[in-house]
């Protein structure tokens, strides 16, 4: 999984998935509070999801991606 900020307004999450596989993306702040959640169904191969961060404060966040394999990453919003 790869995650990065674009345009100071969105986070892009890229991951490899299986066709028609349910996934959940959760974004947590440094205190462990969930600030965003997103559910979807992946396509086979590379998936690229753009999530609006809206008025989320700048800082370090943890992204949890759960599909057939649970994956975590950190991303810095600045």
pLDDT tens track of the chain, all 78 residues? 888 888 878 889 999 889 999 999 999 998 999 999 999 999 999 999 999 888 888 888 889 999 887 787 777 665
The pLDDT, as a whole number, for residue 19 is 93
Q: Quote the CA–CA distance of 25 and 67 in Å, as a whole number.
A: 9
- Domains assigned to the chain: 2-77 (2.60.40.2550)
pTM attached to this predicted model: 0.85
Burial of 3: CB neighbours in 10 Å, binned 0-12, 13-18, 19+: buried
The pLDDT, as a whole number, for residue 70 is 78
């Amino acid at each position: 999984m790869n995650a990065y900020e674009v345009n100071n307004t969105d986070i892009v999450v890229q991951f490899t998935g299986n066709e028609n596989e349910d996934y959940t993306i959760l974004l947590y702040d440094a205190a462990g509070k969930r600030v965003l959640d997103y559910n979807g169904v992946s396509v086979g191969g590379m998936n690229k999801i753009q999530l609006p961060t809206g008025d989320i404060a700048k800082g370090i966040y943890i992204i949890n991606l759960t599909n057939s394999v649970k994956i975590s990453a950190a991303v810095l919003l600045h």
